[in-house]
Amino acid sequence: MWNLPGAPSDVMVHAGFLNMWGQSSMRANMTAALGALAARYPGAGLAVAGHSMGAALAHFCALEAKAQLGVQRVSAGHRFAHLGPEVWERLGLKVWGRLGLQV
């Protein structure tokens, strides 16, 4: 488990998924596309989806969309991200609550 960058020091996330999100072109591509969409459609919401590993990465995408890109309405709950492996320590869920993300 690793500390989540920008989060309180007691918030830990799964190292492999964080590394995959942070080191892949997926993050750069997603944040560029979401940033452009957020600028074009201010106030629009975002729902991310994924299954298994994709669900884990969808959670990082949702967090970044909210915290870094300023997307106001973000949902990455169990309704959309199915059968994802455990990404967060229990304390990590508090970050979602503070940001107003739907879990």
Q: Mind listing the pLDDT tens digit for each residue in 28-68?
A: 898 899 889 989 998 888 888 888 788 888 888 888 888 78
* Dist CA 42 CA 60 (whole Å): 21
pTM for the model stands at 0.72
Element (H, E) at 12: strand 12-13
Contact call for residues 15 and 92 (beta carbons, < 8 A) = no
pLDDT of residue 14: 80
Displacement of CA 99 from its chain's centroid (Å): 11
